[in-house]
Structure 1
Amino acid sequence: MWAALSGPQAGYAEAAGDAARYLPEIAPFCALSDPADPAAWRDLTTLTHHAVLTGPSLTPPPGWVEESRMRGVQMVGTAMSAAGDPEAVPLTEHDVPEMLELVARAQPGPFRKRTLDLGRYLGIRAKDGRLVSMAGERFRMPGWTEVSAVCTDPEFRGQGLGARLTLAVAAGILTRGELPFLHAVHDNENAIRLYGRLGFEHSADVVFASFRYTG
C-alpha cells in the first residue's frame, strides 16, 4: 500500500510524513512507510483517527484501538497467462451508480464512488442490459497491479462470469508488462481454489484491520 500511495497512485493520496491514505471518496485504506515505527503512526493521526490498513502483521502503538481484523491471502499471477473476453465491456463514470448497486448486492469489499479512478474496470451485462458482474484494478505499484472488486450478482453466480472478468482484467495488466495480484479472505476456500485454477499462486498471508485513535 505504501508503495502505491508514495508512488504511482500518489495523485490519489493525502500524505503526511511517513503516512498516507487514499482520498476518502476513492478508498478507505491508509498506509505507513514502516508499520513498526510509532512515528509513522503519529503522522497518521494528522490524516485520520480511523484507519484501515493491510500488511503481513499490524500491531499499533498505544493510543490506537483495534476495531476489526480479518485474515487474508495475497496471490500473484507470476506465471499466468490470460486473455480478453468478448462480452466484457469497459465501465466508465456513467456506470458508477450501477456499479455501486452491484457492490451492495454482491459485497466484494470496499468500493466507493471514485474507486473507478484507480484503473480499468470491466463488466458483463445480462440480456436485459443489467450490470451483473464486474472486476477492475485497484492498488498499483511499479510492476504490479491488483485485480479487485471481482463480484457477480447472486442471481447470476455459478456461470463463471467472475473468473472470465478476472482473466480479462489480468490480461490488460500483463499487456502493460506488469504482473497481476489479488487478495482473498483466508477462509474463502472456493475463491482461493478458483484463483489457483486461473493461474494465481499464494504469495503471502496478510491481515486487513481497522483501528481507531483514542489518544
Structure 2
Amino acid sequence: MSSTASIETPTSTSHILDNPAWAALTGPHAHLAERVGRAARYPADVAGFHALTDHDDPRAWADLAALVGPGGTAALRGVNPAPDGWEIVRSGQGVQLVDTALRAEPDPEAVVLGAADVPEILDLVARTEPGPYLPRTVELGTYLGIRHEGRLVALAGERLHPPGWTEISAVCTDPDHRGRGLATRLVRAVAAGIKERGDHPFLHAAANNTRAIRLYESIGFTLRARTRFSLLRRTGPAVAVAPRESAADPEETAQTRRCSL
C-alpha cells in the first residue's frame, strides 16, 4: 500500500464515511460529544476518537487545540503531515470496509452485553487485543457476546454511528475457542440489528491484519478506502478561541450539514 493511497483528507467530503467520527459526533452520538466549534471528541472513557470538520481549515485546528489544551493529544484519521503546532506521536495504516453482500442473521446464543459485563469485556479485550475498548465504550451501541460455561468467550458490537451507517467493532474470540466461527456469527448478528433499523454496516481494520481482512471479505465486506490513523500532540502555545454558538455560525452549520448527507 503506497503512502499516497493511504492518506485521506476530508476537505471535500463526498461520502459520509470519509469523515465518520465527525458525522457520528455531530449526529447520533452528539449527546456524547465534547465539542469546540469545528472540533469534537468522545469522552476519554468512551472512545479515543477526535474529529474535525475540515483538516485544511486552520480554524478547525485552533478549535482542536482549545479542546485538548496545551500538550494534549488527539487521535485523528487522514492526517499527514502534521500542521504547525502539532507533532505525530505515532501512526498506522488502516482500511475501511463496507457491507456489500453480508448475510446478516440473529444468533440464538448471542446475548446483549451491558454495563455489568464491562469487567468481563475488558478482560477479553486485554487478552485478544481487537483494538481500544474503554469502560464506557459499551454506551456507543449494542454489544453482543457468546458465553461458554458462563464465561464470555467472543464479542462484537457497534462503535461509530454516522447517520445511516454503523461500524462493527471489537470483534474478538478467546484463543481457546477460535476456529468455531464465533466471530463470524457475532458479526452477522450485530449486522442484523444494524440492518433492522435501516443502517448499513461498515468496519475498520489495521492494514497489516490480513487475516481479519480476508475473513471480512469472505463474508461479504468490500474494501472502500485506505487511510492513516495518527495520534498527534499539541506542541504550540495555547490558542484563545472566541466563544460562539455552533447553530449561530452559518458556515459551520453548513459544514456540519454536508458531513451528515
User: Cα offset for 1:81?
Assistant: 2.7
Bigger Rg, structure 1 or 2: 2
Among 81, 87, 98, the residue aligned to 1:65: 87
User: Cα offset for 1:214?
Assistant: 1.0
Partner of 1:74: 96
User: Cα offset for 1:38?
Assistant: 2.0
Partner of 1:214: 235
Aligned ranges for residues 164-183 of structure 1 at < 5 Å?
164-183=185-204
Conserved 8 A contact 1:78-1:179: no
Conserved 8 A contact 2:101-2:219: no
Aligned ranges for residues 1-215 of structure 1 at < 5 Å?
1-48=21-68, 49-55=72-78, 57-127=79-149, 129-215=150-236
Partner of 2:3: none
**Structure 1 residues 128-168: Cα deviation after superposition (integer angstroms, max 9, x where no partner):** x1101100000001110000011111222222111111111
With the length of structure 2 as denominator, give the TM-score of the two structures. 0.79
User: Cα offset for 1:69?
Assistant: 0.8
Conserved 8 A contact 2:156-2:171: yes
Amino acid at match of 2:66: T
C-alpha distance in 2 between matches for 1:6 and 1:21: 10
The number of residues matched between the two structures is 213
2:105 is paired with a residue of what secondary structure? coil
User: Cα offset for 1:31?
Assistant: 0.3
C-alpha distance in 2 between matches for 1:187 and 1:4: 26
C-alpha distance in 2 between matches for 1:85 and 1:91: 14
Give identity over the alignment, percent. 55
2:180 is paired with a residue of what secondary structure? coil
2:160 is paired with a residue of what secondary structure? strand
User: Cα offset for 1:74?
Assistant: 0.2
| Structure 2: gaps of 5 or more residues | 1-20, 237-261
Amino acid at match of 1:86: P
Amino acid at match of 1:203: R
With the length of structure 1 as denominator, give the TM-score of the two structures. 0.96
User: Cα offset for 1:47?
Assistant: 1.4
Amino acid at match of 1:178: D
| Structure 1: gaps of 5 or more residues | none
Distance 1:58 1:13, change over 3 A: farther
C-alpha distance in 2 between matches for 1:191 and 1:165: 14
Conserved 8 A contact 1:36-1:59: no
Conserved 8 A contact 2:102-2:188: no
Conserved 8 A contact 1:35-1:58: no
C-alpha distance in 2 between matches for 1:156 and 1:145: 27
User: Cα offset for 1:80?
Assistant: 2.6
Conserved 8 A contact 1:35-1:60: no
Conserved 8 A contact 2:77-2:228: yes
Where do 4+ consecutive residues of structure 1 move more than 4 Å?
A: none
Q: Which has the higher strand share?
A: 1
User: Cα offset for 1:79?
Assistant: 3.7
